[in-house]
Structure 1
């Protein structure tokens, strides 16, 4: 499904009949999919309205892959994603990134981890503080925090369903 989405984006945004290259690379417990085309126009996530038929491809990609991105190449650009292929253990960079971010955030706020609390409890409190700060940030920029939370929840649920 992800290859189809990446290929469809080439046809839709670069042009029908455009040549593209698919590269599959096995990296440990991850499979990296790359689609290269000759356009230098970089894709970006957008928030389509409920009535729009298109505009959710990158959201789908982000929900189903453990990581994804774009890069300029000598001949154009590549859009890539990585999906877990390990049978026994699901490699999840998102969880690892979250722990790293929460540890940095906790250190920024407190200097050190609070004593007398478990590590999970401490990180949970850091997550709550970080989410609250992000909601303040979105409000300060004129965004609706409820909409942001709803979109994040939908994104999370799509990823959880895909796993």
Structure 2
């Protein structure tokens, strides 16, 4: 059962769950609903993606049906997401380490690209993996930085800086195609997402 802990400086929302694929859609709904209550719907899509990836990592690396919990916190200018589980094995502790490690997985590459910051820590009963999303509108430089981080995950060990325009076009197409496949598997609307992305791009480019 979800519970909301009212704190004067830091509203906190806790969602216990069992690590199973069927639970992930419930996590996404809980995230979107709570962010809407907080007036933070602008980052709902990113937060849903992160919650899904963190939950999927528990299934993959800790085990199916183990007890875990998702924690949302509303901080000044940011939303923080944490997933707690009972394993004490930590993932790569920085975006740089993640970019260099095959063990990190594409899920954490995406998290490192989307989030302002992320990391992990051991707790008394296991560990938590956390990340933070900015509530400020993303500027052009922020979007470019996130795009470069995602592309670096696809191009390892080569750098995106060394790719010719044709290769970059092909890599970007691969990224978009993979994301659309992922969205379809999660029950989303790939055509709608692609259309919204095009609208956002055209509006911001103008």
Q: TM-score, normalised by structure 2?
A: 0.41
In 1, distance between residues paired with 2:129 and 2:138?
28
In 1, distance between residues paired with 2:79 and 2:53?
16
Structure 1 residues 88 and 67, CA gap change in structure 2 (3 angstroms): closer
Higher relative contact order (CA 8 A, sep 6+): 1
In 2, distance between residues paired with 1:10 and 1:67?
20
Does residue 13 (structure 1) correspond to residue 23 (structure 2)? The answer is no
In 2, distance between residues paired with 1:55 and 1:61?
10
Match of 2:109 in 1: 59
In 2, distance between residues paired with 1:25 and 1:74?
20
Task: Name which of 124, 131, 134 aligns with 1:81.
Answer: 131
Gaps of 5+ in 1: 49-53, 96-145
In 1, distance between residues paired with 2:137 and 2:120?
27
Give the CA RMSD over aligned residues. 3.5
| Structure holding more helix per residue | 2
Greater Rg over alpha carbons, structure: 1
Does residue 47 (structure 1) correspond to residue 102 (structure 2)? The answer is yes
The CA deviation at 1:148 is: 5.4
Match of 1:110 in 2: none
In 2, distance between residues paired with 1:88 and 1:3?
20
In 1, distance between residues paired with 2:52 and 2:82?
12
Secondary structure (helix, strand or coil) at the match of 1:21 reads: strand
Match of 1:33 in 2: 81
Query: Residues 103-114 of structure 1 correspond to what in structure 2 (within 5 A)?
Result: none
Match of 2:71 in 1: 23
In 1, distance between residues paired with 2:105 and 2:138?
34
Match of 1:150 in 2: 160
Secondary structure (helix, strand or coil) at the match of 1:15 reads: coil
In 1, distance between residues paired with 2:138 and 2:113?
21
Secondary structure (helix, strand or coil) at the match of 1:39 reads: coil
Q: TM-score, normalised by structure 1?
A: 0.51
More deviation, 79-88/14-23: 79-88
